[in-house]
């Protein structure tokens, strides 16, 4: 199995699952700083020109959440639950995350960190204000949901935790306003105790 990744929030998700489950994955680094994701050879794997992507025999997959689900199912892991209702809950939170929580966190990460890091200019203040407003709105939903819970979906760790948490390891760089969200911080502090989440990246040696 070949997993195409880079050290970014969307790359973290499948790398963390592969490491958590100790799967026999060949990690293939796609250097976004050199534009390798736009090369025709890579677009043949992911026509979106983005990481991550996975090839497993005849299976060619892109979209980080789908790749996490595939890896968990392949391993027979409860990261992808067997109960239909819990599967629906995982889907609900992953879809919500893409549409709302990580979407606006990602906008802040882009404005507050990526633009400067890659010489793309200063943050656009109007964009920061708009993203902050939405981030606060959806962080409130997540914080209330996590009250009295250790995981997004009751019953244990699932890929919904890794999906919804994906922007949080870079919260400082993205200047995510998390101060008032004690439940989110508690939940993510616990996730960071999982070595595969804290350190998902293959060593230089392991990466092809």
Contact residues toward ligand GSH (CB under 6 A) are: 8-10, 32, 37, 49-52, 63-64
Nearest approach, Cβ of residue 46 and ligand GSH (Å): 8
Q: Decide if 186 contacts 146 (C-beta within 8 A).
A: yes
Nearest Cα neighbor of 6 from 184, 176, 38 is: 38
Contacts 24+ apart (CB under 8 A), 175-180: 175/108, 175/112, 175/113, 176/105, 176/108, 176/109, 176/135, 177/132, 177/135, 177/136, 177/139, 178/139, 180/143
- Looking at the Cβ atoms of 64 and 132, the one nearer to ligand GSH is 64
Q: Which pair of tokens denotes residue 100?
A: 């709302």
Nearest Cα neighbor of 2 from 76, 61, 43 is: 61
Residue number with the smallest Cβ distance to ligand GSH: 50
- Looking at the Cβ atoms of 9 and 202, the one nearer to ligand GSH is 9
- Looking at the Cβ atoms of 34 and 205, the one nearer to ligand GSH is 34
* DSSP helix/strand/coil, 107: helix
Nearest approach, Cβ of residue 37 and ligand GSH (Å): 5
- Looking at the Cβ atoms of 8 and 158, the one nearer to ligand GSH is 8
Nearest approach, Cβ of residue 147 and ligand GSH (Å): 27
User: What is the torsion angle, in degrees rounded to the nearest 10, for the CA atoms of residue 59, residue 92, residue 142 and residue 99?
Assistant: 70
Nearest approach, Cβ of residue 145 and ligand GSH (Å): 21
Q: Which pair of tokens denotes residue 133?
A: 């407003």
- Looking at the Cβ atoms of 98 and 183, the one nearer to ligand GSH is 98
Nearest approach, Cβ of residue 205 and ligand GSH (Å): 23
Nearest approach, Cβ of residue 49 and ligand GSH (Å): 6
- Looking at the Cβ atoms of 10 and 77, the one nearer to ligand GSH is 10
Query: What DSSP letter does each residue of 74-106 carry, written as one string?
Result: HHT-TTS-SSHHHHHHHHHHHHHIIIIIHHHHH
């Amino acid at each position: 199995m070949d997993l195409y990744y880079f050290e970014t929030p969307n790359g973290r998700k499948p790398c963390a699952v592969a490491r958590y489950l100790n799967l026999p994955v060949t990690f293939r680094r796609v250097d976004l700083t050199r534009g390798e994701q736009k090369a025709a050879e890579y677009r043949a794997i992911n026509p979106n020109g983005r990481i991550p992507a996975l090839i497993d025999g005849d299976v060619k997959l892109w979209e980080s959440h789908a790749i996490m689900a595939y890896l968990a199912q392949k391993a027979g892991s409860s990261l992808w639950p067997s109960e239909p209702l819990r599967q629906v809950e995982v889907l609900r939170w992953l879809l919500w995350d893409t549409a709302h929580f990580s979407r606006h966190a990602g906008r802040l990460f882009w404005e507050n960190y990526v633009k400067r890091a890659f010489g793309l200019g200063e943050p656009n203040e109007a964009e920061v204000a708009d993203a902050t407003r939405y981030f606060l709105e959806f962080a409130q939903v997540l914080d209330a949901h996590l009250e009295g819970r250790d995981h997004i979906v009751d019953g244990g760790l699932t890929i919904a935790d890794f999906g919804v948490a994906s922007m949080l390891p870079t919260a400082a760089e993205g200047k995510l306003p998390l101060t008032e969200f004690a439940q989110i911080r508690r939940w993510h502090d616990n996730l960071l105790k999982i070595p595969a989440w804290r350190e998902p990246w293959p060593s230089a040696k392991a990466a092809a």
